[in-house]
A and B are shown apart, each in its own frame.
Chain A
Amino acid sequence: MSSTGFLGGAKDRLLPVSVPFRFFLGAVLFHLAAWAVLFGAADWLAGHVGGPGPILAAIHLATLGVFAMTAIGASYQLLPVATRRPLARDWPTKVSFWLLAPGICILTWGMYAAEIAAMQTGAVLVCAGLVVFAVLTADNLRRAGSVALVASHGWGALAALIAFAVPGLLLVWDFGAGFLDDHSGLAAVHMVLAAYGFMGLLALGFSLVLVPMFALSRSLPQRPGQTQLVLAGLALTGFGLGWLTGIPALTWAALVAGAGAIGAYLWLMRTAMARRMRKRLGLSFVLIRASWALLAFSLILGAAVVTGLPIPNAPALFGFVLLAGWLLTFLTGILQRIMPFLASMHAAGASGLPASPSSLTAEMPLKIHAFCHFGALAVCSAGIVLDQTLLVRLGAGLGVLGALAFAGFALNVLWQLKAIRAGA
């Protein structure tokens, strides 16, 4: 018995390791930058309601730098495997990275320094990178031979991408020209469509395969998955129409539909957990499970913002729980599973056998990251509610430490991969 057939015939669907990992490493660096900017601008967070400045920069370092980079790197690698259709070409993936990475740097610098020209340049580069991603992904989804439900979520995410990118460009240009009547309202729609729409639908769709795969659970039932997609689509559409028409009932209907979508998602995830073969899920699932609770909490806070409940600094708290709470927690949990996993598939040593994912995983940096990440969430949230800059800065400092530890984990994966390949 040999393993000489390892990945034989799969190379058509398995991209070079440099493709997903350049996005993941970008995400790791932007993760560090996002917390560092928040640390420096802690006194701006609690009262933040929009507008250029360090908080807007930190938000986009997280959303575009961490979330979008992670989602795009994972999509390029995982979608062709799931849909059984290879990407038409590899080189556009590199083009999208080299548009996105500098674009995010320029855009967020422009936001930090309130430099309109830099914001506009960065926004155009970022949108160009997203267009390349959208075209590649749409081509792959169009040819999808299986996983129809995941593909449907992918289509929804691409629609949300267009729906948040166009307002994003308008908002950037409005900083200079001031032509929008309701800048803050459109900014809210932009954030909701980006976070719950683009990232949310990708998270909900990929969860249908990734969570059962990591937990070793059978594939999930289709009907609740279809329900979560339809309700999420109704929620996003209703929220957008509610802003466009000014009819509060549409916003409320959107919240109800959003709650239904989250309910269906949580039921599916609970089903995956109940049927799993793998009893010890490890630290990554502590993060992933916490993210599920934070997703539900974010919607409750969103409803509190809509109703005007007297929660101090509710808009900032909602944004923080949505972005740092749900999405960052979920994605760092997923990343710490898929990075060693993907590296393992590319790491055949001198024996011809690939390295095991566990041999590529450094546990201590991940423990430090988890401790610091949860500490950052709790302390920053307290700082926002109590309007205490010191607490926000302390929390962001924990976030920086956690991000450094996570970077140590990611670099170790790459270091091990390089060492194994060098010995092959």
Chain B
Amino acid sequence: MSDVVPGRHWLAGDGLHVDTRGLEPPDPMVAVLWHLEQPGQNGPVIVHLDRNPVHLFPELVERGWLYRVTPEAEGALTLTLLPAPKDPA
């Protein structure tokens, strides 16, 4: 990524928060995946969105991240992301 990552982010007690509200697609997806790909990122990552990121979900699955969707007011939602447990096999 040659430019600064889109959106805002901050660390809190419950994990890394990424705020993508107000961004045009595909910036929300790019912002989330950029944070997930940072070395040592093990979550939780809490993502604040103003649209349902339907195209993000396949990318999360591809990268082995689990997510929980929490609907908020006026179509907004929060995603809570954690890496999927490694398969012992």
Chain A residues close to B by CB (< 8 Å):
1-10, 13-14, 81-82, 84, 146-147, 209, 212-213, 216-219, 274-275, 277, 341, 344-345, 353-358
Contact = CB atoms under 8 A, between A and B. Distances in A.
Interface of B: 1-3, 6, 23-27, 29-30, 33-34, 37, 51-52, 54-55, 57-58, 61-62, 66-71, 75, 77, 80, 82
Given A9-B75, A82-B25, A1 B82 contact: yes
A342 to B, nearest CB: 9
B68 A2 contact: yes
A277 B66 contact: no
B57 A9 contact: no
Contacts of A217: 26, 30
B6 A9 contact: no
Contacts of B33: 216, 277
Nearest to B55: A213
A345 B26 contact: no
Contacts of B34: 277
The 4 closest A-B pairs by CB, nearest first: A5-B69, A10-B52, A213-B26, A344-B58
B interface, over-half SS:
mixed
9 contacts: A1-B68, A1-B82, A82-B25, A84-B51, A147-B25, A275-B2, A341-B58, A353-B66, A354-B57
Given A1-B66, A9-B69, A355 B27 contact: no
B52 A146 contact: no
A278 to B, nearest CB: 9
A209 B27 CA distance: 10
Given A2-B66, A6-B57, A212 B26 contact: yes
A219 B70 contact: no
A345 B30 CA distance: 18
Contacts of B62: 356-358
Nearest to B27: A219
Contacts of A213: 25-26, 29, 55
Contacts of B6: 218-219
Given A5-B67, A84-B51, A218 B30 contact: yes
